[in-house]
């Protein structure tokens, strides 16, 4: 799997690179920016909740967000990557992303399903019959009021927080680029351009926070 051009490990890097390249050509509309922010917010929230509910290998999680879809973490990644595609301003990239997603994540999900079946045969079979794989359906979405069932903050690591922080830093980078293209360099660097200054400050701040969180997590593992 790692030998392919696009796989689970590098899909986000490919998406961000393509989106940044296309953002130099296309201009994201206000509707696309708003939709991107909404998807990113939902994706990050789902990312956070999924990690807080997951008990890896010991049990097959079927409560909380895992009662809605069997792989909520991958659904979160789908929403986050789609938000970056929207910021490219290219409808072609947005339309192509679902194919890239299943190309990259399909082998990983099949492998994980086989592992779960070997560890928890009865529960895995029942889950596959009752709960959708990645995208919720009309029945499974009814479990959303109990989405926090089984959630624990102790399962959220500093690296997970750094990852979410980086997502928002990338989003502000796209907004910064979009603002620069719309106003032009002369107007952008004007002291009166408070939007540009705010976006640049937000990008730099979030980038710094993500680096600190990663460093903090590394030091914590060494101390442990």
CA atoms within 13 A on the CB side of 197: 7
Residue 107 makes CB contacts below 8 A (sequence gap 6+) with 1, 7, 8
pTM confidence score: 0.88
Give the DSSP per-residue string, 76-131.
HHHHHHHHHHHHTT-HHHHHHHHHHHHHHHHHHHHHHHHHHHHHSHHHHHHHHHHS
CA distances from 74 to 8, 48, 66 (A): 10, 12, 12
SS3 of residue 192 by DSSP: coil
What is the dihedral angle through the alpha carbons of 7, 28, 31, 174, rounded to the nearest 10 degrees?
60
Q: Which residue has the tokens 């708003």?
A: 34
Please report the pLDDT score of residue 224 as a whole number. Answer: 44
Distance CA 134, CA 121 (A): 20
- For the segment 28-76, what is each residue's pLDDT rounded down to a tens digit? 999 999 999 999 999 999 999 999 998 876 778 888 999 999 999 999 9
What sections of 60-90 are H helices per DSSP? 72-87
Residues in the chain where the model's pLDDT stays below 70: 1-4, 57, 183-197, 216-224
Please report the pLDDT score of residue 213 as a whole number. Answer: 80
CB 62 within 8 A of CB 8: no
CB 17 within 8 A of CB 82: no
Distance CA 182, CA 184 (A): 6
Nearest to 71 by CA among 139, 164, 147, 135: 135
Please report the pLDDT score of residue 82 as a whole number. Answer: 98
Distance CA 163, CA 111 (A): 24
Distance CA 128, CA 117 (A): 10
Please report the pLDDT score of residue 5 as a whole number. Answer: 76
Distance CA 120, CA 134 (A): 19
């Amino acid at each position: 799997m790692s030998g392919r051009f696009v796989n689970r490990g590098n899909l986000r890097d490919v998406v961000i690179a393509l989106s940044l390249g296309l953002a130099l050509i296309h201009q994201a509309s206000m509707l696309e920016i708003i939709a991107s922010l909404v998807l990113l917010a939902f994706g990050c929230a789902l990312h956070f909740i999924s990690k807080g509910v997951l008990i890896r290998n010991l049990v097959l999680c079927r409560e909380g967000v895992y009662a809605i879809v069997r792989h909520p973490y991958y659904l979160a990644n789908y929403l986050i990557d789609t938000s970056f595609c929207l910021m490219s301003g290219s409808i072609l990239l947005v339309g192509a992303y679902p194919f890239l997603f299943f190309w990259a994540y399909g082998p990983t999900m099949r492998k994980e399903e086989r592992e779960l079946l070997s560890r928890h045969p009865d529960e895995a079979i029942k889950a596959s019959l009752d709960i959708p794989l990645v995208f919720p359906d009309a029945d499974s979405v009814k479990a959303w009021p109990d989405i926090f069932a089984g959630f624990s903050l102790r399962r959220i690591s500093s690296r997970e927080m750094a990852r979410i922080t980086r997502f928002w830093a990338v989003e502000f980078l796209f907004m910064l680029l979009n603002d620069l293209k719309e106003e032009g360099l002369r107007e952008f660097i004007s002291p009166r351009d408070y939007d540009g200054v705010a976006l640049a400050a937000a990008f730099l701040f979030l980038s710094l926070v993500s680096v600190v969180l990663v460093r903090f997590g590394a030091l914590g593992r060494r101390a442990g």
